[in-house]
Structure 1
């Protein structure tokens, strides 16, 4: 295990602000701080879009957040609007109730609807076609699927990953950070990576507040980290 450096950390970070009470000034501060730290992306609530003065930052948002219990056509419309408003990554929440029902075809269709809406909105804007997990860094628009892994069995995590891939998603993601079952775990990240191989990205998010936790997630196979306390971890690296 190679010790995590500041440069390696920031290259994997979606610096995140999803607190319901966040105001315009908070999002302005988020963007400025993200740029000063040199992180890859910022992730904000859809109502905060469009962001200004983002420079080279990738702009991500959420969809069907945080419950996922939203009609598919509403999720698709929300995702399309987010792309029109400047998002290049849309982190959608699966419908956990449908997973628990074993309605896997409906789960897949729900994801496919958002993927299609994002692709359609991107075409309308003349954006390049997404061709892989990190396509957003070239200006394309991609979809990450939030599984809420702490609320699922291992078997459900595996099948949800398979359905996300079949639906055309570009990433699978552990958690919203809002579910009482908990957030990311290295075990879930490893299982997700094992399932999707190198075909999709894996984002670990939810409760990652220490250098040790960030290191564990990356070692388990995460290609992105959703962090609200990025600076605190950088301070731990600096010692």
Structure 2
């Protein structure tokens, strides 16, 4: 909305305490021949450090100016823009955001062609955002092994919690949870029974491929399932010896 000429003249007065460093948002700052001052997202955030800033339905891809100095942390169906100087504490963030999700509509209750179905899907997927964020951090962050293990374990616990609390949920949850279980198997430091992890991985990969036929990774998942079943059989034989 900030790209429209009329937006700030009409709306700024209704947003007390928020400073707009110009007349109109634009990725490239400058002054137009008309005298209109353009400002980017980084500049807006810089002059509003006294305010918490949240993003819903994503940020405009054409303005990456915020990325060097800010990160997006999951906040329910939205995200919070946080200074990159702040160190992410996963356990504290889980506690802080655990109870802000209060969507009550049943999954799949709306006609798939309706806007209600789109909104409902988005809200249900938001339930898994924190788990996905922490798992992705474990996958990509350059951190010591013990921290990586902690992140995987926290993501696993979150995935498991939401999977088993909901009788009906988005099918991709099965895939995400199965991957989280598989990652846990890679670390001896994890205090979870390997047989349980293998069984959960197999169960939820199976539930996923049973319901989804068009995933480009389906063949790889089926191959992984064959391997995992052999691993589980071998583990059970070892325990019987």
TM-score scaled by length of structure 1: 0.28
In our comparison, the structure showing a higher alpha carbon Rg is 2
TM-score scaled by length of structure 2: 0.28
> Which is strand-richer, 1 or 2?
1
Q: Which structure exhibits the higher relative contact order, with contacts defined as CA atoms closer than 8 Å and separated by 6 or more residues?
A: 1
